[in-house]
Structure 1
Amino acid sequence: MNVPTPYLIGLDPDELAETRAVNDHMEKLLDSLVPLHVQDDPGAAREFQRAGGGGFPTLAPVPEASWRTVTTSGGGRLRLRAFLPPDGRAPEGVFLHFHGGGGVFGSADGQDPRLRDLAAGCGVAVLSVEYRLAPEHPYPAGNDDAEQAALWLLANAASEFGTERLLIGGESAGARLAVTTLLRLRDRHAVAPAEAFLAAQLSFGGYDLGHGTPSSRASGDRNRLINRPTLEWFRSKYLPGLSPDERLDPDISPLYADLRGLPPARFTVGTADPVLDDTLFMAARWSAADNAAELVVAEEGWHGFTLHPTALARRELAAQEEFVRRCLA
């Protein structure tokens, strides 16, 4: 077993000062707002988030992106937010992306500038999945949509994009969906994930939706974008009626899954993230299952720190692009 050695970023004094200033500003903003678990209105939360409120930065859509609607093998319809390399270049590969939002909000077009830059910087096509959200569509709807998106891509990548070199990834709930999708491909469809996908980029994922990891349980009420009450609110909407023990099903909490046969993964998380331990534990288990794993820990990074316009975020996003290019080389 090759245990991943954490690579710590954000130790430059100026960079760290900037990160702290952004964190302090965001905490004051969040303290002034009604918490999600108190207002208890997912629809209003989505609209507020899409308008850039609530501390969940949403980036404006870009003209380089387009919507595609595809028909899945089960006869369903999925919307994908698509980005292609600029200047008519043929894609070197395809990156299948899942957005965050706790399975309750977020959207495939919420990170357009970042995904456009990924497509341009790495010469890949990027497909972000508009999966169904709770509470209107609780588990397993989001997992099912993620699975169907991957199956569609496996069947159509060559004809649609001229390549079968695939990567997968996401942020927060999207990172969890990327992992459960790989597991479903292996366990339900006899697809070898490490052969189907070159690599996974998994950013600040929550992989234990049952009792929660120590860092999530210890996060308390402090407003750091997410906290213990917020995490439980997400779970109550995404997993209604399920007990904490039932939420340990590996299709819900992939930290408890058999992780053998998965592709190389790069894990990213911040030291101030309530789901810090989710990433630390998952990276260790990924490696223990004899999969290649890299672990990057951002000094004082919050949940979603790559969404803020800071030097720390720019450095991490550049490193993610370098990881994708290295996996395609």
Structure 2
Amino acid sequence: MTDQPVRPDVRGLLDQMAAANSPRAVDVSLEQARGMMHASRSLLDAPTGPLAVLRDVDNGPCPLRLFDVRAERGPGPVLVFFHGGGFVLGDIDTHEPLCAEIARLLDLPVVSVGYRLAPEHPFPAGVSDAIAAARWVAGSPAELGREATGLILAGDSAGGNFTIVTALALRDEPAAVPVLAQWPMYPAANPTQFYPSMDAYGEGFLLSRESMDWFSSCYAPDPKDWRYDPLHQDQRGMPPTLVVTAGLDPIRDQGRAYAAACAAAGVDTIYLECPETIHGFFSLRKALPSSQADLERCAAHLRVMLKGAKE
């Protein structure tokens, strides 16, 4: 474990988990690992909170859930969210509190995507669902009840990977409306490359190297396919990009590298590194109250970014 400074609430959570000797996903069965992530929502994340609309959406290419602070809304941007969980864990329910808070902070409709999970559905099933869902939302289907004039793509961890890959897919084969911005949160942006943050934070900071190896073995990706490693692609022509990383994250440097590649390609890029915190902190806001300010700061930057985007 590094001697780098750690936020008090982060230190408290890490110490509590170490004392409890809590099992990791890799230490239990797949069913138990998924159950642990569901249980962590009530233990570690903030409540969903009030919304005018919170409902599942029918007839999409995969399960979808709509979040909106307004019961009715005119034409405008729609945020499409891809949850994290290593391509293996997580779903619309585990990330409901985060999607609800994003909807409130941005005053935008949020559509959360329940893509297929590995190992039952290995690469590229999940990312294919992500791309199909974004295209479906862009077409403003009646089931959504919201007319999309543009998309914001967002997601955390594995969902950050899907965010970037979907933005690339829609850059190369545009959907019915443009992608106005992308917001990859602590993304698995360059998973085939080794970076020093893996050695620095690969044990003792919630997300472990061993767990990531297990996720990869379940997902069974083709390491040469850009739909797994989006830094295989040129980033020119990508939408305005907000990349967020955690300072104590084993995949932090992947996010840094992706932000740098976007900037080098001439993409309007904002890079925010949230210091002294761990991977997944946006979904730990009950255990880590400091994460709320981080999320609000990101939303403020994204609002400014969207203000200049064409709708």
TM-score normalized by structure 2?
0.86
2:266 alignment partner in structure 1: 290
Q: Is the 8 A contact 1:168 1:197 kept in 2?
A: yes
2:277 alignment partner in structure 1: 301
Q: Relative to structure 1, is the Cα distance of residues 90 and 57 closer, same or farther in structure 2, using a 3 angstrom cutoff?
A: farther
SS of equivalent to 2:148: coil
Cα deviation for residue 43 of structure 1 reads 1.6
Match of 1:191 among 174, 198, 219: 174
2:56 alignment partner in structure 1: 67
Aligned length: 297
% identical aligned pairs? 29
Q: Is the 8 A contact 1:93 1:328 kept in 2?
A: no
Match of 2:22 among 16, 33, 36: 33
Structure 2 residue 191 is the aligned partner of structure 1 residue 206: no
Q: Relative to structure 1, is the Cα distance of residues 192 and 154 closer, same or farther in structure 2, using a 3 angstrom cutoff?
A: closer
Match of 2:64 among 69, 76, 80: 80
Which amino acid is 1:156 matched to? S
Q: Relative to structure 1, is the Cα distance of residues 217 and 50 closer, same or farther in structure 2, using a 3 angstrom cutoff?
A: same
Query: Where does 1:159-308 land on structure 2 (aligned, <5 Å)?
Result: 160-187=145-172, 190-191=173-174, 196-220=178-202, 222-239=203-220, 246-308=222-284
Q: Deviations over 1:198-242 (max 9, x none)?
A: 11111101122224333124434x221112111111101111xx6
Q: Relative to structure 1, is the Cα distance of residues 269 and 261 closer, same or farther in structure 2, using a 3 angstrom cutoff?
A: same
SS of equivalent to 2:59: strand
Separation in 2, partners of 1:121, 1:219: 30
Q: Is the 8 A contact 2:161 2:188 kept in 1?
A: yes
Q: Is the 8 A contact 1:206 1:275 kept in 2?
A: yes
Q: Relative to structure 1, is the Cα distance of residues 157 and 266 closer, same or farther in structure 2, using a 3 angstrom cutoff?
A: farther
Separation in 2, partners of 1:132, 1:212: 27
SS of equivalent to 1:165: strand
1:121 alignment partner in structure 2: 105
Structure 2: stretches of 5+ with no match in the other structure? none
Cα deviation for residue 52 of structure 1 reads 1.4
Separation in 1, partners of 2:256, 2:171: 23
TM-score normalized by structure 1?
0.81
Separation in 1, partners of 2:138, 2:47: 30
Q: Is the 8 A contact 1:205 1:279 kept in 2?
A: yes
Match of 1:326 among 298, 304, 308: 304
Separation in 1, partners of 2:43, 2:252: 18
Cα deviation for residue 275 of structure 1 reads 0.8
Superposition CA RMSD, Å: 2.6
Cα deviation for residue 247 of structure 1 reads 1.4
Which amino acid is 2:137 matched to? L
Structure 1: stretches of 5+ with no match in the other structure? 1-15, 72-76
